């Protein structure tokens, strides 16, 4: 197996691990104080920007088809996790179990709804991200990586954040809370997207001579 194939597998592993982690910890809401602003966000949002960094890297290095394949792989991996979370709840904990039924259900009883909401938003957002990334790549003839990296994430993350918050909390939270959660979540993701721009440039630079940039693809 050559380096290019090995790196693709590594990126896919990081993508799936980040996505599954997002779903497992998303029930906890936290404050993130960055000095200039305090964000109130789901803990699941912390690893989520990695998924867009990875899909942008794969889109740039391997092309749109490989990026879409990783998106689908992440979806099936999440469904796999959801099934076993459900299955684990079907068996009673033994006396003295470190995690009893109450603790297990308290942590995971909302997981099915959370993962379902996340997957609906995820599929829309990730495919939008990949599509817009390649739209900008074709439009700029492969130039201005920063533009397609941030442009695709800005649009896709607005879709993702809005869908997740609305599916989970319409009828549960007040409209003002929902609006605030969408804005905070989206702004936080945008900040992470700006931070990952130099990371993706650095990765592309380090991989020169090892992996060729994918050619422009037609619609």
Give the model's pLDDT for residue 45.
79
Mean pLDDT over residues 188-197, rounded? Answer: 79
Q: Cα separation of 88 and 155, whole Å? A: 37
Q: Are 59 and 210 in contact (CB under 8 A)?
A: no
Domain ranges of the chain: 3-206
Two tokens, residue 143: 């130039």
pLDDT of residue 3: 87
Confidence at residue 215, expressed as pLDDT on a 0 to 100 scale: 59
Section 7-19 average pLDDT: 92
The answer to whether residues 151 and 132 touch, using CB atoms and an 8 Å cutoff, is yes
> Domain 3-206 has what CATH class?
mainly alpha
Is residue 214's pLDDT more than 70? no
Residue 123 has which token pair? Answer: 């599929």
Q: Three-class SS of residue 194?
A: helix
- The pLDDT tens digits of the residues spanning 131-187 come to 777 777 777 776 777 777 677 777 777 887 888 788 777 777 888 888 888 888 888
> What is the structure's pLDDT at 218?
46
Q: For the whole model, what pTM was predicted?
A: 0.76
DSSP notation for 115-157? HHHHHHHHHHHHHHHHHHHHHHHHHTTT--HHHHHHHHHHHHH
Question: What share of the chain in percent tops pLDDT 90?
Answer: 8
Q: Is the pLDDT of residue 55 over 80?
A: yes
Quick one: average pLDDT of 86-99?
88
């Amino acid at each position: 197996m050559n380096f290019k194939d090995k790196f693709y597998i590594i990126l896919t592993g990081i993508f799936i691990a980040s996505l599954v982690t997002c779903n497992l910890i998303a029930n906890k809401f936290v404050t993130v104080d960055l000095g200039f602003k305090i964000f109130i966000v789901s803990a699941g949002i912390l690893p989520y920007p990695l998924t867009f960094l990875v899909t942008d890297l794969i889109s740039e290095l391997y092309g749109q088809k490989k990026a879409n394949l990783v998106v689908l792989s992440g979806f099936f991996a999440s469904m796999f996790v959801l099934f076993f979370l459900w299955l684990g709840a079907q068996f009673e904990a033994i006396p003295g179990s470190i995690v009893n039924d109450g603790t297990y259900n308290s942590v995971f009883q909302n997981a099915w709804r959370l993962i379902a909401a996340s997957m609906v938003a995820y599929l829309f957002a990730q495919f939008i991200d990949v599509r817009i990334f390649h739209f900008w790549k074709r439009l700029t003839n492969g130039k201005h990586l920063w533009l397609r990296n941030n442009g695709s994430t800005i649009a896709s993350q607005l879709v993702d954040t809005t869908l997740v918050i609305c599916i989970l909390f319409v009828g549960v939270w007040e409209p003002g809370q929902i609006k605030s959660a969408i804005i905070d979540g989206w702004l936080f993701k945008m900040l992470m997207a700006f931070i990952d721009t130099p990371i993706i440039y650095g990765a592309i630079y380090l991989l020169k001579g090892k992996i060729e940039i994918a050619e422009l693809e037609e619609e």
